[in-house]
Amino acid sequence: MHRILLTLLLFLAFAVQSLAQQASIELGKSPLPINMYYTISIRLQDQALKEYSPFPEIEGFKKSSKFSSTKTVITGGKTTTILTITQNYAALNEGSFELKPFTMKVNGQTLQSAGTKIRVSPMTAVPPQSPNIPNLVIPNEAEQVEDRPQEFVDKEDNAFLTLYTDKKEVYVGEGLNIVLYFYLAEEDQRLLDFHDYGNQITGILRQLKQPNAWEEAFEFTEVTPEHVMIQEKPYVRFRLYEAMLYPLNTEPLRFPAMSLRMIKYKVAVNPTLAEDRQEGFKTFFARERVIPVKELPPHPLRDVVPVGQYTLQERLSPKSVAVNKSFSYQFQVQGEGNLAAIMPPAPVTTGILDFYPPDLRQDLTRRAGRVEGSKTFTYTGLGRTAGDYPLGDVFQWVYFNPVTATYDTLRSTLAVSITGEADADALVLSRDLGPFYKIIANEDHTLVSLHQEADIRRYTNIILLVLLAVSGFVFLKYRKN
């Protein structure tokens, strides 16, 4: 057991050390002559450079050029690639300087350096120029390169903004899935970026709201890219907004033309690590959409029936019960549609079975462009007369199926069996009369006279009159004395 734990600890320590070695900061040598560059380098092993924070400033030094180098090592068939990004610093004066502790963020990882002391000595003789000496400070030449203005070109991008709808027309109450997408070719990802997204999407959502439709919006915590293929070409798709709309009347659903302003980069003609693109802006537009809304076919309940694709799940407990004893019946509607618009089925009054208003439970799922779930109505029922009673005669629920364009009815297939003979007292006891009546057994049941309050008032008045007479007698007696 101890060997296993020791092995695991050694493995974790090795893994942490290996992870730390994949990205590191390397500092240049000190002392150095004033005509040599001091360097700070980022060293990456077996990973591409995606982003990094600026190199630190050093008091007494001026940032100069950057350069990168890549080293590939193949050992025993295993290939290791080391990428090094180096920042050159030119010393302004001779003397001792301090590089304070600093951190840099590289590919999302925070790297730390404890800093160091740097000593700059007088100028040494400059050896002949060779390709293997990249850190020489060559006066004027480096400055001329830095002062040379960079040229940028506006590269054509392959991107567009579009509003997707899953249907071209819908019935009143039928669900319409709408999604606002921004598409960008994978090869053009470095050309575009989002700009002031929070404020822009707020304005877009106001445009998408429909006053004559019930909305079930899909929740988004962040905008994440999705990789899709369009005409055999890879694209990155951003889902900006998605909702299911249920029209409340025959007014068409109108979506105005929408715009999204993006950051558009111009590409450098001669890219460098310090400067390879220039920021600008470009606005993308989604065209206007109008979705017609059709009226439901003629039916006596056309204005009140729910619309969707539904099935019935039901449960009866118990299936056999004595007269005037309660039983529970669960009527659950499952499927795809506007569950919020579903009202409880009204039981048909027969005089034999009594049902009380139901308890309600709703479960809703928004996923993959669909809104589906279930709505459960739980009824408490009482049977007044013995017999077998099909609940299909009591519970019938009519809805409109937009796929088949027909009306359909969900009807109970269960039956309850009522046994025994009617008992008036049992009827009272079987009903849940509420919490007030549940405390009767714990309360005092001593009889109290209905005239008790009048008697108390009469006796109180007699006592007050006696006290008044005594007080008057004492007052008159002491007055004569």
Q: Which residue type is seen at 113?
A: S
Both tokens of 471, joined, read: 């007080």
Sign, Cα dihedral of 140, 142, 147, 149: positive
What is the spatial distance between Cα 178 and Cα 208, in angstroms, rounded to a whole number?
9
What is the spatial distance between Cα 358 and Cα 356, in angstroms, rounded to a whole number?
6
Task: Give the pLDDT band (50/70/90) at residue 431.
Answer: low
pLDDT score at 90: 85
In the block, tokens 């929408």 appear at 258
pLDDT score at 221: 64
Task: Give the pLDDT band (50/70/90) at residue 19.
Answer: very low
For the segment 204-232, the average pLDDT, to the nearest whole number, is 88
CB-facing half-sphere around the CA of 20: CA atoms within 13 A: 9
pLDDT score at 79: 66
Task: Give the pLDDT band (50/70/90) at residue 30.
Answer: confident
Task: Give the pLDDT band (50/70/90) at residue 192.
Answer: very high
- Mean pLDDT for the chain overall: 82
Q: Which of 51, 202, 33 is nearest to 122 (CA)?
A: 33
Q: Where are the domains of the chain?
A: 22-148, 159-294, 308-438
Give the tens place of pLDDT for each residue, 265-277. Answer: 988 777 665 567 7
Hey, which residues does 60 pair with through a beta bridge?
A: none
Residue count (the chain):
481
Task: Give the pLDDT band (50/70/90) at residue 445.
Answer: low
- Name the architecture of domain 308-438: Sandwich (2.60)
Kindly tell me if the per-residue pLDDT of 38 is higher than 80. Answer: yes
What is the spatial distance between Cα 386 and Cα 383, in angstroms, rounded to a whole number?
7
Give the tens place of pLDDT for each residue, 344-365. Answer: 999 988 888 999 999 999 988 8
Q: Which of 201, 281, 300, 213 is nearest to 252 (CA)?
A: 213
Is residue 116 within 8 A of residue 26, CB to CB? The reply is no
If one compares 5 and 148, the residue with the highest pLDDT of the two is 148
**In whole angstroms, what separates CA 421 from the centre of its chain?**
58
For the segment 232-254, the average pLDDT, to the nearest whole number, is 94
If one compares 99 and 22, the residue with the highest pLDDT of the two is 99
Q: Which residues contact 197 (CB under 8 A, 6 or more apart)?
A: 223
Task: Give the pLDDT band (50/70/90) at residue 481.
Answer: low
For the segment 182-209, the average pLDDT, to the nearest whole number, is 92
pLDDT score at 435: 58
Kindly tell me if the per-residue pLDDT of 144 is higher than 50. Answer: no
Kindly tell me if the per-residue pLDDT of 175 is higher than 70. Answer: yes
Kindly tell me if the per-residue pLDDT of 437 is higher than 50. Answer: yes
Give the tens place of pLDDT for each residue, 378-430. Answer: 999 999 899 999 999 999 999 999 999 999 999 999 999 999 876 555 555 45
Kindly tell me if the per-residue pLDDT of 18 is higher than 90. Answer: no
Is residue 44 within 8 A of residue 83, CB to CB? The reply is yes
- Ranges 3-7, 73-77, 202-206: which has the least confidence: 3-7
pLDDT score at 7: 44
Is residue 117 within 8 A of residue 65, CB to CB? The reply is no
Give the tens place of pLDDT for each residue, 150-162. Answer: 677 888 899 999 9
Report CA-CA distances (Å) from 16 to 9, 21, 79, 103, 124.
11, 9, 21, 19, 43
Q: How many other β-carbons are positioned within 10 Å of the β-carbon of residue 345?
A: 20
pLDDT score at 442: 67
pLDDT score at 370: 87
Q: Is 449 helix (H, G, I), strand (E, B) or coil?
A: coil
In the block, tokens 């009140």 appear at 304
If one compares 217 and 77, the residue with the highest pLDDT of the two is 217
If one compares 147 and 208, the residue with the highest pLDDT of the two is 208
